[in-house]
Chain A
Amino acid sequence: MATPVLSLRGVTKRFGGLVAVNAMDFDVSEREVVGLLGPNGSGKSTTLNLVSGALPLTSGHISHWGNRISGLPAQDINRKGVSRTFQLVRLLQSMNVRENVVAGAVFGHRRRWGQDAQDHADQLLEKVGLGGKGDMALGQLTYIDTKRVELARTLASDPKVLLLDEWLAGLNPTEMQIGITLIKSLRDEGRTIILVEHVMDAIRSLCDRCVVMAAGTKIAEGTPTQVLSDKEVIRAYLGDDYA
């Protein structure tokens, strides 16, 4: 098997006595879309935070194309081409829509500056469905549009690995379809994607493979159909009666 883009081995995160992520092992291959599933509080977002460098690992290691990235600060991981969105949308409030996207283009994996960065931001806004809205203030945007701005910022440094933390949450059915199409187009561009998600439709139509977590531990791994019929997974979500 070729070297995986991302590889997690024994990744563990403790907050005091609480083990939020317990000895997670999984690999992500190039151009793969991997869904990270699990009930609330199972450690999905924490796992993503460990990969992106938002939190330091307690033990274990994470490698990117075979090189260790765990222990590096978030900015170095971003510069290697691993970029993320946040569970609760984080935008730069003092800036307009275009500047928010430019912010992602200047310091990251592939760097742009000046007019080049502005043009690039406008192209990305077009791509995520916000064409012509670059001069708008953030306050004028709807919820899905704020998510689009964040995605455009994440894409602005041309990352090879995307970490999407519940990017589809809170969207209505129409917006959901738009969102799914958008993520598919990103995969078709050759990007590798890990997404934390609860929406089953999205998982079925997007993910090549899923990793399911419960209470910080991996309980299942496989195609969406496999894991969604897995006894352990059903027990984790619905309880013993349904397993």
Chain B
Amino acid sequence: MSLTGTDLRNLCLAILAFGVCALLPFGDNGYWLGLGVTIAMFTTLATSWALFSGPTHYISLATAAFFGVGTYVTGLGIETFPFWALVGLAGIFGAVLAALVGLATLRLSGVYFVIFTLGLAELVRQVITWVQNNTGQKGLYVLTDLDEAGIYWWLLGLAALVFLTGWLIGRSRLGFALRIIGDDETVAAHSGINTARAKVLLFMVPGAVAAMTGAILAPRYVYIEPSLAFAPILSFQVVIMALLGGASRLWGPLVGVIPFTFLLEAVSSNFPNQTTLVIGMAFLVIVYLLPSGFAGLVDKVMHQVKKRETF
């Protein structure tokens, strides 16, 4: 398939946008850069999450599990391997873990999948805690010369990779198969789609990306321990942000990540003890008022406009 004019225009705009974002560390090195790192982190997580969960409607709460595995890859290997190798290694571990989880659970219906993925993060955390207790080790120090700006650029690069992957999947047979599966799995199977294989393959994408994100962010924590690396709240935040933006479009999650990060920032600085409460309420409001997120809202408005033009 060749590129259309719209494709080229979107591609140029995307490159330009990434170029502008890459300049942030030159403008500010404190508060805003920190916020930039958070936004870049949640953009990669939520966008890759939506690549799988958007079309299939399988809600995965495994983000924290993959993310934690990634941070531990960096934590354990930082003395031996170069940083770029660790990021790649984390991606491989994440993809393999996702494939194993997928093979075990993606034949199950939605609810079982949600619970299993939530449990997975907890399971991995407990295993690592158990190993640490047995070896007498407590946590890991991650000492590098990678500063905040470096982390930001790594994340930005990963985000670009995620968008590119998502765009390519959207044009591929695999992406089309996933949309069919999301609409009607019986029809998908009767149209010749190997539904289990398609789902497992695509589930490996958010798995790899979340692990790579964790690997990149590990130096920011300096000291990592299981309760920090595998914090279940991360999985929920990613889901809320992706749903707020809308998981049906590639750019959807990004539209959710930005306002939600600012909201979270405002809440956690003003009401540090009620953060979880606010996240929970935000979740309810989003599900009730914006079931398809901002992207769904835009589609609806466009549809209305088109309708008015026809009559």
A90-B186, A90-B187, A92-B180 as given contacts; A78 in contact with B1, CB under 8 Å: no
The interface size bin for chain A is 20 to 34
Interface size on B, residues (CB 8 A): 18
Work out how many contacts link A and B, with CB atoms closer than 8 A: 69
| Known pairs A106-B173, A107-B173, A114-B1; A75 contacts B189 (CB<8 A) | yes
Known: A92-B184, A94-B179, A94-B183. A74 touches B173 (CB 8 A): no
If A107-B173, A107-B177, A113-B173 touch, does A157 touch B191 (CB 8 Å cutoff)?
yes
Distance between B172 CB and nearest chain A CB, rounded to angstroms:
9
Assuming the A-B contacts A90-B186, A92-B184, A92-B187, are A107 and B192 also in contact, with contact meaning beta carbons closer than 8 angstroms in the complex? Answer: yes
Query: A187 within 8 Å of B by Cβ?
Result: no
Q: Interface 1/0s, chain B 71-113, versus A by CB < 8 A?
A: 0000000000000000000000000000000000000000000
The verdict on B182 contacting chain A, using a C-beta distance below 8 Å, is yes
Q: Closest CB-CB distance, A38 to chain B, in whole Å?
A: 23
Give complex CA distance A106, B193 in Å: 9
CB distance from A101 to the nearest CB of B (A): 11
Q: How far is the CA of A106 from the CA of B211 in the complex (A)?
A: 33
When chains A and B are docked, how far (Å) is the Cα of A164 from the Cα of B187? 14
Q: Is B262 an interface residue (CB 8 A)?
A: no
Assuming the contacts A107-B173, A114-B1, asked whether A92 and B183 have C-beta atoms less than 8 A apart, the reply is: yes
Residue-wise interface mask of B (165-204) relative to A, using a CB-CB cutoff of 8 A (1 in contact, 0 not)? 0000000010011011011101101111111000000000
* Contact partners of B176 in chain A: CB under 8 A: 102-103, 106
CA distance A42 to B194 in the complex (A): 31
B1 and A108 within 8 A (CB): no
Nearest residue (CB) in B for A82 is: B190
Residues in chain B near residue A157, CB distance under 8 A: 191-192
With beta carbons under 8 angstroms apart, the residue of A74, A91, A113 that contacts B190 is: A74
Most chain A C-beta atoms within 10 Å of own C-beta, residue among B1, B183, B190, B194: B190
Give the interface SS of chain A, mostly helix, strand, loop or mixed: loop
- A142 CB-CB contact with B under 8 Å: no
Residues of chain A from 47 to 76 with CB closer than 8 A to chain B in the complex:
52-54, 73-75
* Bound: A106/B190 CA distance, A: 12
Q: Which residues of A contact B (CB under 8 A)?
A: 52-54, 73-75, 78-79, 83-84, 86, 90-95, 102-104, 106-109, 113-114, 153, 157
27 example contacts (A-B, Cβ-Cβ < 8 A) are as follows: A53-B189, A54-B186, A73-B189, A75-B194, A75-B195, A79-B192, A84-B190, A91-B187, A92-B179, A92-B183, A92-B184, A92-B187, A93-B184, A95-B179, A102-B176, A103-B187, A106-B173, A106-B191, A106-B192, A107-B177, A107-B193, A108-B191, A108-B192, A109-B192, A114-B1, A153-B187, A157-B192
Q: Identify 7 new A-B residue pairs, CB closer than 8 A, beyond the known A74-B186, A83-B190.
A: A74-B189, A90-B187, A93-B183, A94-B183, A107-B177, A107-B192, A157-B191
